[in-house]
Amino acid sequence: MGASLAACAAPLWALRARGHEAYRIGAGDAPLPLTVRGRAVVAVSQSGGSVETLEALRSLPDDVETIAVVNVWPSDVAGAARAAVDLGNERDSYASTIGYTGTLVALGVLADMWDGGAPDPGWRDLPGLLGDFEKEAAAATAEAAAAFDGVSSVDFVGDASAVGTAEAGALLFREVARVPSAAMGTRQYLHGAMESAGGTAHVIVGGDREVALGRQLSEAGHPVLLLTSRDVSPGPLLRVVRVPDLPPVQRSVLEAVVLQGLAQALAEARDVPIESFVFHSADTKTAMAAYSGETA
């Protein structure tokens, strides 16, 4: 659910690129018992206490292979799966920013290793790359935050391997900066959704087609932040963050750091306290997660 669903997108892309049939399902979007003929199930819940994810896990027959990916251990979701990968009970923000990037790494390595594979060597280099990248992206991120202040909404658009980045970014803006936001894949966005641009800002993530889209929107008078590995010159309304050309899941970690910084900057500009929620739902977390104070 939430950011956990977004975190599944790039790892699924990686699995499919290796020839594996893989899908993601929002745990609350399918009738129970969950039907998964001949498939393993990976249940992702950063808090380990998402009610919908737990109910889906418990609905499965005993012979289904299940793996939980969680931050919190012990937790209900981890206990309901045959095996679990935990991130180490890392203390997190209300919007689960650490949990999101950690979940991306865990799922990315799991996708690499699935069915006899091996972790991509780039994972070892990512921590060192991350610090330098964050510094290099800071100026464009700050400029984008200033340009986005006062817009009515933000559209997040990503190519097929970056849909999860778009989804996570839109959720961050809703949770952290309290700005109405939506996320789409590029091809869906081009099929009519972009026609409502006006008083909006846009975060575009991807390659050549996304570069063209970013230019088109900025030239029409809309502020754009473009995250791309391509060499693109910025413009008056086009801010550009050059993202290293890494495998999709590793690249998604870097993209997430940019969007987390952008959400924080916009929240501060709007005087929104980032470690607070307006609404609290009593039925989305198990008793164990609620007791621990986990929110994602």
The domain that contains 218 carries what CATH number?
3.40.50.10490
86 plus 159 within the same structural domain: no
Is 35 within a domain? Answer: yes
Are 78 and 177 in the same domain?
A: no
Residue 200 lies in a domain: yes
CB of 86 closer than 8 Å to CB of 73: yes
For residues 173 and 284, membership in a common domain is answered with no
Q: What is the DSSP letter of 238?
A: E
- Buried-state track 224-242, b at ≥16 Cβ within 10 A, e below 16: bbbbbeeebeeeebbbbbb
CA distance 142 to 83: 42
- Is residue 182 situated within a structural domain? yes
Between β-strands 66-70 and 181-185, what pairing exists: parallel, antiparallel or unpaired? unpaired
The residue written with tokens 């391509």 in the block is 230
Range of the domain at 126: 122-269
pTM: 0.93
CA distances from 174 to 107, 200, 229, 255 (A): 24, 14, 27, 17
> What token pair was written down for 202?
């846009």
Same domain for 126 and 231? yes
Q: What is the pLDDT of residues 210-265, one digit of tens each?
A: 999 999 999 999 999 999 999 999 999 999 999 999 999 999 999 999 999 999 99
In whole angstroms, give the CA distance from residue 74 to residue 32. 25
Number of domains in the chain: 2
What band does 291 get if pLDDT is binned at 50, 70 and 90? very low
- Tell me the pLDDT tens digit for each residue of 136-176: 999 999 999 999 999 999 999 999 999 999 999 999 999 99
Q: Is the pLDDT of residue 55 over 70?
A: yes
> Does 133 lie in the same domain as 222?
yes
- Residue whose C-alpha is closest to residue 162's, from 98, 260, 250: 250
Alpha helices by DSSP H, the chain: 3-7, 9-17, 51-58, 76-80, 97-113, 122-148, 163-172, 186-190, 208-219, 248-269, 287-292
Q: Judge if 245 and 130 occupy the same domain.
A: yes
Buried b (16+ CB within 10 A) or exposed e, 130-162: eeebeeebeebbeebbebbeebebbbbbbbebb
**254 and 126 in a common domain:** yes
248 preceded by cis ω (within 30°)? no
Is the pLDDT reported for residue 50 higher than 80? yes
Q: Are residues 223 and 132 in the same domain?
A: yes
Query: 225 pairs with which residues across the strands?
Result: 203, 239
276-292 burial by CB neighbour count: b if 16+ within 10 A, else e?
eeeeeeeebbbebbeeb
- 241 - beta bridge partners? 227
Within-domain flag for 275: no
Inside any domain, residue 274 = no
pLDDT, mean over the chain? 94
